[in-house]
Amino acid sequence: MPLEVASEGKPPAPAHPEPAPPWKRLDQQIDWYDRRSTAAKRWYYRLKISQIVIAAAIPVSAAADAPSLVAAVFGSTIVVLEGIQQLCQFHANWTTYRSTCEALKHEKYLYAAHAGPYAEAPDPDARLAERVEGLVSQEHAAWTSTQQDAGRDAGRSSG
């Protein structure tokens, strides 16, 4: 890490001080939720666009007098794609992860501006750590609930 030149007998200070652990954790969480939200959105769009295209191909194949097996394969493919979407919960994960990411960004800006809950906080770093962990815990609880609901729904449909 580069050091600045000492002045007036003071020890040299780091040119870029290491960020406080809560700030570092906040940046890591924003990055994680942003990447996961983007990935879930892409998968959701891929599955839904595929379903739309395949569904549109069913009447075309029927009108073109294609063998009935073609329409059956298209129809079953749509069911499989929807099953994958329901099992993986790409839409729910996309929206939940994006919401958490934006809430974390909101905390970052309030903290950086010494505004909101950080304006009068005796220890802004501790307040940031509490609020970041609260948001992450809240999202994790929602994710767990969504996964349990998806598992119950899958169990009902197969039972």
For the cut 80, the answer to whether the pLDDT of residue 74 exceeds it is yes
* Rounded distance between C-alpha atoms, residue 22 and residue 28, angstroms: 10
* Rounded distance between C-alpha atoms, residue 115 and residue 53, angstroms: 49
| Residue 17 covered by a domain | no
For the cut 80, the answer to whether the pLDDT of residue 143 exceeds it is no
Say what the pTM is: 0.76
Q: H helices within the chain, ranges in order? A: 21-63, 68-88, 90-112, 124-158
**What is the tally of structural domains in the chain?**
1
| Residue 3 covered by a domain | no
Note down the domain range covering 130.
31-158
| Residue 150 covered by a domain | yes
| Residue 23 covered by a domain | no
| Residue 42 covered by a domain | yes
pLDDT digits (tens, 9 = 90+) for 100-140: 999 999 999 999 999 999 999 999 999 999 999 999 998 88
